[in-house]
A and B are shown apart, each in its own frame.
Chain A
Amino acid sequence: MSDLALPAAAAANTAAPTVAARPRGRALAYLQAAPLALVFLVFLVVPLVLTGIVSLWEYNEYEIIPALTLQNYADVFDGCLSADLCTTVRTYLSTVKFVALTLAITLPLGFAIAYFLAFHIRSGTVRMGLFLLCTIPFWTSNVIRMISWIPLLGRNGLVNDTLRTLGLIREPIEGLLYSDFAVVLAFVHLDTVFMIVPIFNSLARIDRRLIEAARDGGASGAQILWNVILPLAKPGIAIGTIFVTTLVMGDFVTVGVMGGQQIASVGKVIQVQMSYLQFPAAAANAVVLLAAVLLMILGLTRMIDLRREL
C-alpha cells in the first residue's frame, strides 16, 4: 500500500522541488501513516467497540442474540450489594493483590538494576552488554520460562531437596509450586524487564551535572537519590508501573500455569466464558476489566502528571 505512495513523491519532487512539495508531502504522510492507522482501526478500535456492543446482547447456550439487555452486567455484579463479597469483587481483589505484590517487588528491583546500569557502570559497552543480558530472556517463550520453575519448586524439586539435605525441613514444602507464591514469582521473573527498560531510559537522560550540583550543594547520597534522581525518574517509573499493572491485570496464562489452574483471575474468567461460548458475558467482563485498568492508569498519571514529565 505504501509503495503506491512512492510515484506520487517522485512527481512532487520533479514538479517543484521545494515549494510545492509541502502540501504533496502532507498527502504522502497520510498514505504512509494509513497502513498503521488501518491496522489499529480494524484490530483494536472496531473489536473494542464490538465488545462494548456485544456486552449488551442476550445469549443462550447456542447463540448470541442481538437484543439489548443489561443482564450481563447484572450477572457480573450479581450479589455485590450483599454483605459477603460477590465472585467478581473477590476475583478482582485476588487480581489486584497480585498487581500489588508484583509491583512491590518489581519496582524497587527494577529501579535498583536500572540505577546500577545507568550510574555505576562507567563503560558504555559494558552497560550495553549488561542491559542486553537483562533483556535476552525476554525473547524466549513465557510458557517455557514458567515451566522452567517446575524442577526448582516442585515437590521433589531442587529447593525442597536442598532444604531436606540440609536438614532444615522433614517434609517437602507443598506450596512452592501451584500457589500464590509461584504466581508472583513468575510475574517478577517475566515482568521486571518492563520496569528496568523505561526506568533506565529516564535515568540515562538525567543530566549528570544536576547530581554534581546537588553534591556540591552538600546533599548526601540519600538526599540526592530522593530529591533529585527519583523525581526525574518518575516518567520511567510510571511507564513501568503501567506496563506491569496491565500485564498482571489481564493475565490468564501465568495465573493458570503457575497457579495450577486453581487461582481466580479476571483474565481467566473471561477466557473460561469464551471457551463456553458465553461471548456477551465475557464481553461484559472485558469491559469491566478495561474500565478497571484505565481507572488505575488514570490514577497513576494523576499522581505524577505524565504529560508534564514527558
Chain B
Amino acid sequence: MDQPRGRAFYLLAAVFALYVLFLYGPTLTILALSFQGPSGGLTFPMNGVSTHWFAKLWEGVGVIDIWAALRRSLALGLVVMALTVGIAFYAGLAFRKGFRGAGLVFALAVSSLIVPSIVVSLGIGLEFRLLDDAVKAFAAATGWGFLQDHGTLMGLYSSALGAHLTWTLPFGLLIMFAVFNRFDPAYEEAARDLGASGPQTLRHVVVPILAPALVGVALFGFTLSFDELARTSQAIGGRNTLPLELQGLTTTVTTPEIYALGTVTTAVSALVIGTALGLTLWLQKRRARRALAGL
C-alpha cells in the first residue's frame, strides 16, 4: 500500500472533493442568503447584509407558531433519545446473552428499516384511529362520564413517539451490536470475581466503558427524531413538529425567512452534534487519564 499515489488516487480525490462541494454547497448558499438584506429575495445577488429575516422569523411565520413547533421537536427528540439509548442498551445486553426469539426480534428491527416510512406512518395512524373509535364505542356503551369527551389518543408522546422509535431503535440496536462485538467480557468477569453484583457491574464497569458509544446512540436518536418527517406525517395528530411545519412552509413562504429558519434548525443540529462529539472526546480523554493514573 505504500506505493506513490497513482492517477486513480487523484481522480478519486477529485470525485470526493466534488461530492463534498455538492453536499455542502447548497446548504452554505442558504446560510449565506439567510443574511440577505431586507429588500433581497430568494436568490443571489445579496441586497446588503442584515439579520432582518431572523428578526422576522423571531416575530413568527404566518399563522404558524414556529417556536412552539421547535420546542415540540426538541422535547420529543430528547424523549426519543433517552428511550433509544435505554431500550437499545438493554436489548444489546439481551442479544449478547441470547434468548429464544432473538432472530425474530432482529428480523423485526431490520424490517422496521425496510418498510417504507409512509406505510409505517399510515399503519400507526390507522391503529390510533381504530383505538379512538373503540374508546368512543366503549364510552357510548358504558356511559362512563370521564370517557365521554374522549378526543384522540394520537399525539406527540404516543403515536408520534412510537413512529420515531421504529426509526431510531434499529439504528441504535445495530450500533449496540457493533459495540458489544468489540467488548471484552473479561472486564465483567473480573468485576464479578471481585464480588460485584450484576447491577454494580453494569453501572461501574459496562456503562463507563461503553459511554462513548452510548453517546453515539443518543446522538443518532436525537437527530433522527429531530429531522423525522415521513413517519410522523400521518401519526402526529393535531400539533406538528418542526419538519412538518417546514414542509408546509416550503410552498407558502417565498421570502428569505425560510432560509433563516433553515439556518436556525441547522444550528440546533450542529450544536447537539458538537456537544455530543465533545462529550465523547472528553469521556475518552478522561478514561485515558485515569488509565495513566492507574499505572
- Complex CA–CA separation, A268 to B43 (angstroms): 29
Query: B12 on the interface (CB 8 Å rule)?
Result: yes
Give B40 Cβ to nearest chain A Cβ, in Å: 11
Contact at B44–A158, with CB atoms within 8 Å?
yes
Q: Quick one: given A32-B93, A44-B112, A144-B246, are A51 and B269 in contact (CB under 8 Å)?
A: no
Give B231 Cβ to nearest chain A Cβ, in Å: 10
Give A94 Cβ to nearest chain B Cβ, in Å: 16
Residues of chain B within 8 A of A48, CB atoms compared = 115, 119, 123
Residues of chain B within 8 A of A139, CB atoms compared = 223, 227, 269-270, 273
Q: B12 is contacted by which of A39, A46, A120, A137 (Cβ under 8 Å)?
A: A120
Query: B144 on the interface (CB 8 Å rule)?
Result: no
Q: Quick one: given A44-B166, A141-B243, are A33 and B94 in contact (CB under 8 Å)?
A: yes
Q: B130 is contacted by which of A13, A32, A42, A50 (Cβ under 8 Å)?
A: A50
Query: A290 on the interface (CB 8 Å rule)?
Result: yes
Q: Quick one: given A6-B199, A51-B122, are A147 and B114 in contact (CB under 8 Å)?
A: no
Contact at B246–A141, with CB atoms within 8 Å?
yes
Q: Quick one: given A44-B166, A151-B44, A251-B230, are A115 and B26 in contact (CB under 8 Å)?
A: no
Q: Quick one: given A116-B15, A192-B19, A271-B118, are A39 and B169 in contact (CB under 8 Å)?
A: yes
Residues of chain B within 8 A of A243, CB atoms compared = 113
Main SS of the interface on chain B?
Answer: helix
Query: A161 on the interface (CB 8 Å rule)?
Result: yes
Residues of chain A within 8 A of B118, CB atoms compared = 250-252, 267, 270-271, 286, 289
Contact at B197–A45, with CB atoms within 8 Å?
no
Contact at B126–A50, with CB atoms within 8 Å?
yes
B116-131 Cβ-contact flags toward A at 8 Å (1 or 0): 1111101111110110
Contact at A26–B99, with CB atoms within 8 Å?
yes
Query: A150 on the interface (CB 8 Å rule)?
Result: yes
- Complex CA–CA separation, A36 to B129 (angstroms): 24
Q: Which of chain A's residues 137-172 have a Cβ closer than 8 Å to chain B?
A: 137, 139-152, 154, 156-158, 161
Q: Quick one: given A109-B19, A112-B15, A145-B27, are A40 and B44 in contact (CB under 8 Å)?
A: no
Give A288 Cβ to nearest chain B Cβ, in Å: 10
Contact at A40–B108, with CB atoms within 8 Å?
yes
Query: B16 on the interface (CB 8 Å rule)?
Result: yes
- Complex CA–CA separation, A91 to B60 (angstroms): 38
Residues of chain B within 8 A of A307, CB atoms compared = none
Contact at B44–A29, with CB atoms within 8 Å?
no
Query: B215 on the interface (CB 8 Å rule)?
Result: no
Residues of chain B within 8 A of A142, CB atoms compared = 227, 229, 243
Query: B247 on the interface (CB 8 Å rule)?
Result: yes
Give B232 Cβ to nearest chain A Cβ, in Å: 11
- Complex CA–CA separation, A9 to B166 (angstroms): 28
Contact at A141–B227, with CB atoms within 8 Å?
yes
Give B35 Cβ to nearest chain A Cβ, in Å: 13
- Complex CA–CA separation, A250 to B85 (angstroms): 27
Query: B111 on the interface (CB 8 Å rule)?
Result: yes
Contact at B19–A156, with CB atoms within 8 Å?
no
Residues of chain B within 8 A of A43, CB atoms compared = 120, 124, 162-163, 165-166
Contact at B127–A46, with CB atoms within 8 Å?
yes
Residues of chain A within 8 A of B87, CB atoms compared = 2, 35-36, 39
Q: Which of B48-56, B258-266, B282-290 forms contacts with chain A?
A: B258-266
- Complex CA–CA separation, A270 to B42 (angstroms): 32
Residues of chain B within 8 A of A144, CB atoms compared = 27, 30, 246, 262, 265-266
Residues of chain B within 8 A of A40, CB atoms compared = 105, 108-109, 112, 166, 169
Query: A28 on the interface (CB 8 Å rule)?
Result: yes
Contact at A148–B262, with CB atoms within 8 Å?
yes
Q: Quick one: given A33-B90, A40-B166, are A253 and B229 in contact (CB under 8 Å)?
A: yes
- Complex CA–CA separation, A305 to B28 (angstroms): 42
Q: List 13 A-B contacts (CB under 8 A).
A: A6-B199, A26-B97, A29-B99, A36-B94, A36-B169, A51-B122, A139-B273, A142-B227, A143-B246, A146-B250, A250-B119, A252-B118, A297-B114
* Chain B residues engaging chain A, CB cutoff 8 angstroms: 1, 5, 8-9, 12-13, 15-16, 19-20, 22-27, 29-30, 33, 42-44, 86-88, 90-91, 93-95, 97-99, 101-102, 105, 108-109, 111-120, 122-127, 129-130, 162-163, 165-166, 169, 173, 192, 197-199, 202, 223, 226-227, 229-230, 233-234, 242-243, 246-247, 250-251, 258-259, 262, 265-266, 269-270, 273
Kindly list 19 other residue pairs between chains A and B, CB separation below 8 angstroms, not including A157-B44, A257-B250: A32-B90, A32-B93, A35-B86, A45-B108, A50-B127, A130-B16, A136-B273, A139-B227, A140-B269, A147-B262, A151-B30, A151-B43, A156-B43, A158-B44, A251-B118, A274-B125, A282-B122, A286-B122, A289-B118
Q: Which 5 A-B pairs have the closest CB atoms?
A: A250-B116, A47-B123, A9-B198, A43-B162, A33-B94
